[in-house]
Amino acid sequence: MVGRLWLIGGTTESAQLAKAIAALQLPCTVTVTTAAATALYPQCPHLQIVVGRLDDIQLARFCKKWQITAILDASHPYAIAVSKSAITLASQYQIPYLRFERPTLETSTPGLIHLDSFETLINGNYLEGQRVLLTVGYKALPLFKDWRDRATLFARILPSVASLEAALAAGFTADRIIAFRPPIPSELEKALWRHWDISLVVTKASGKAGGEAIKRTVAAELAIPLVVIARPEITYPQQTSDVSVALEFCQTRGVGESVSPGF
């Protein structure tokens, strides 16, 4: 049996890492939650893509099946459930783990409002009477149900059935939903905000790859306040945003080497 790398994917960074890992001909199994995400990754013999959400029992079986000898976690900064499960599994089975996370944007922008959580936003008066564009992902939309009569809410979501169904279920009507895959070009971003006469935008601290930098620029140009929800706090055993560090980790953790059967 040959040891494999488990790359937790679903982000543009994970796709870039997968290409680099494939170029090194390291055996790697990538997990993504949707079939559409598989299009991000190269088709090659060394790379296997597994689609679907795995619970803790399934993750242990997954690692045994694929003989995982290292975990490179490049999941979304807000997908903390999968990161926590991977960290627990890595600790339990003594599997080396490295978190690869896109850097945050540290510079300040006029009109920027940093908040530590969605709860702080919901419980405050930031949304009162505003025309709000929510670019926070479909899972957060139900949090705003009590604000539907106190603010005019619009949602930008990913172009997927799951996202649309969730937005509709959260009470957003078709005329207040738009589906785009980020990052959105600045001119299109600006045109959308103007078309809906937006007075406040809410986003996550998703970094440059998530389009946060463009939103900051457009918000400053249009003098529209931008609320940025901080990333959830989680303690990672190891963490980097350097691709070379991540690749060195993959090459020195038994990936591609013979391992004993079993897990």
Report CA-CA distances (Å) from 71 to 3, 4, 26, 29, 263: 11, 9, 13, 10, 14
CATH superfamily of 4-103+234-251: NAD(P)-binding Rossmann-like Domain (3.40.50.720)
Q: Say how far apart CA 204 and CA 212 lie, in whole Å.
A: 8
Query: Residue 261: its pLDDT value, please?
Result: 61
Locate all alpha helices (DSSP H) within the chain, ordered by sequence: 12-23, 56-66, 80-93, 118-123, 161-169, 186-195, 212-222, 243-251
Options 1.10.357.140, 3.40.50.10490, 3.40.50.1980, 1.10.10.410; which CATH number does 112-229 get? 3.40.50.1980
What ranges do the domains of the chain cover? 4-103+234-251, 112-229
CB count within 10 Å of CB 256 equals: 19
pLDDT, tens digit only, all 263 positions of the chain: 789 999 999 888 999 999 999 999 999 999 998 888 899 899 999 999 999 999 999 999 999 999 999 999 999 889 899 999 999 999 999 999 999 998 888 777 778 999 999 999 999 999 999 999 999 999 999 999 999 999 999 999 999 898 999 999 999 999 999 999 877 899 999 999 999 999 999 999 988 877 899 999 999 999 999 999 999 989 999 999 999 999 999 999 988 888 776 55
The identity of residue 14, as a single letter, is S
